[in-house]
Structure 1
């Protein structure tokens, strides 16, 4: 029998592949997410400058509304996201060996890096005297509408009912309820499985919806940056030049100095690979100014860098509400020195130690939302400094908050890496092979660590 008279299945498949029509490709190239963000920054600065200098009212209003809508969309998912993420993260610890040990070490590293950050903030503030020669006057100061005190912080953790924390976005109270529910579910065991499965489904749904909001970040960037330039211009930055530089330098030292040093010496991994994998979360934090809003992306990049999912799902949600090296350590330290110098209040060793105490213990007061007013008022009230000083800093806060939040989010990913490495559960192969998530082509569905986006 001639071999030419018949064909094998493999040859038929090859022939079909050869004769199949070529796959249609989009003529519009996909723009990387980082490039979209950069374009949003440039457009935001340009449009904000035009609205301010050419007095284009409709343009200024449009920029403000775009920024407000983007932040509102992020906040819309915050309450249920925090509740379900922390509840499920606690129950996931039942699948982790030495869960109590991991949780304890995570909190200790949170405190240790906060201590380093506040020390850097104090040194920078004492060396540069940020409150001197600003050109501002006492009429620029005003008490803030929102204030924080230790009594409010301690009593405000426990809610009076289960509805108000969600309607008024009391994140600390939501965290408290989530912890209670999570621990109760662990104690109930199998009886709680139906509720936990429902919670996991709701959490997946919320994260999927939040991915859609994240994809709008370039547009939100135009509104947020444009509004900042329109409202404050460059003259305001000049008045706060030293203070602004102090915050950015302090955060940069933590972000590009302390964290890489810890990764190299404690985790014994390549720090550059960390930035390669975690950069999408850091850049989103910079433009969104929300640690909680960035939380799903932070958890995703942390898992892709080799941290076990069960542990990352605990450490990252808790870090998003309590781990704030930028907002709760660098910022209040330098801000307290600024306010003290502005109002000519001398501070000594006791006051500086109080700043350290507030920063390390009270960082949960920032709650992962945009701005750090509550943490700053908590610090000033503890030191006995005039709360009117907060009014001096509110104008420049949006510009500072971008760098602070980027630092926060980086720390929320670094700590799980350190703990995982020390406990021997870090997937170093996944870490070394992890690639950056391109959100322009990412659909929000789970991917394995190290997989290409």
Structure 2
């Protein structure tokens, strides 16, 4: 006779849905509820969807500032545990620039072939100058903060990155004296990652609110005027994600691209619905490690990528947007202008800051070209729809480059890469952050 402890529970239990299925369910439910709210003019439902999506984004943003600071500080100090750390850092930044260059070239080519601003019916009166605009002077002078508090309260990620880099280098120079600070930073980073995993578990509900709000607010009518531009952005991002990246994996790293997407898929899907590279960073780091990238190197490459590596928001999108706005305002762009777009996209991508939207990067591009900033107002309405695909592209590149560099430098665990599967990452205990380096 079996004991009560060993007896199997009776009754019917629902099967547990994997995380990707929960996200998909939230997406479908959001579209349905958004359509009901719009077609039936259900004001309370629109408000509810907006609140649900807004709270989810706010929860993601809540952890962004300290997460970026401590992740980069710890990653810099732990680079001393990696052989050829300077070489790895240099190769990482080089591939960031190479993939950005290819991405902006694809964006320009698609824009020149399709003329996204032609025949839209939009005019100068439809646009409004944004409240905040970026310029090269602001970008260069804005890297250095005026105090240590404001970057955290105003969520200026670029300044937070600057302070984290300075603190990390200073800690390396201090050696053993900085050991208590590094231990504290390590503990805070683990705490933040744990808290953010709780937020990530809410992604299916957040997806429902964000998608539902977009449908209820803008509907499908808006896509008519922006149809060519929207298709261009999605096609450009798809070409980079499923064309350029697989070619690099197969040709440069000699890796199976399907294995990469199988392992990286949890991060890609979360990026699509959350529209935040930084918010997705813990998942990106975990899938990168699962793909065989050493933990110490992934802890450096992924946080830097989440704040500076933006093939979707900082390369494809501004290239297409510049052509779109130039056509709306009747401005002819020359070869020199296209070269400027390339320069801005490769050098200025850190201005996107890893948060939802790419307004700062777009205004930086437009101001460099001398295009009217009112053009930004033309794109704000459609931005949430575009930002999903842009962010998914960003995060795919942020996972790709560490894999590519690790393979080239022969530090990639090929066995882990070949066996990587799209596991339900939110159901696993997060891997611990690397221990602080000894002096």
The match for 1:357 among 338, 343, 351 is 343
Give 1:137 deviation, angstroms.
2.6
Q: Is the contact made by 1:332 and 1:376 (CA closer than 8 Å) also made in structure 2?
A: yes
TM-score between the two structures when normalised by the length of structure 2 = 0.96
The match for 2:44 among 49, 58, 73 is 58
Aligned match of 1:451? none
RMSD: 1.7
Within 5 Å, give how 1:24-423 maps onto structure 2.
24=9, 27-423=13-409
Q: CA separation in 2, counterparts of 1:106 and 1:436?
A: 25
Q: CA separation in 2, counterparts of 1:172 and 1:356?
A: 21
Give 1:132 deviation, angstroms.
0.5
Alignment: residue pair count: 433
Q: Deviations over 1:242-266 (max 9, x none)?
A: 0000000000000001011101111
Q: Deviations over 1:335-356 (max 9, x none)?
A: 0000000001001100000000
**Structure 1 unaligned runs (5+)?**
1-14, 449-453
Give 1:293 deviation, angstroms.
0.2
Aligned match of 2:6? 21
Give 1:151 deviation, angstroms.
0.3
Aligned match of 1:11? none
Give 1:442 deviation, angstroms.
2.7
Give 1:24 deviation, angstroms.
4.5
Q: CA separation in 1, counterparts of 2:4 and 2:51?
A: 53
* Range 436-445 or range 284-293, more displaced: 436-445
Q: CA separation in 2, counterparts of 1:137 and 1:363?
A: 29
Q: CA separation in 2, counterparts of 1:306 and 1:236?
A: 43
Give 1:437 deviation, angstroms.
2.7
Q: Is the contact made by 1:165 and 1:174 (CA closer than 8 Å) also made in structure 2?
A: yes
Give 1:193 deviation, angstroms.
1.1
Give 1:277 deviation, angstroms.
0.5
Q: Which has the larger radius of gyration?
A: 1
Q: Is the contact made by 2:309 and 2:398 (CA closer than 8 Å) also made in structure 1?
A: yes
Q: CA separation in 1, counterparts of 2:201 and 2:189?
A: 18
Give 1:267 deviation, angstroms.
1.0
Structure 1 residues 429, 231: CA separation in 2 closer, same or farther (over 3 Å shift)?
same
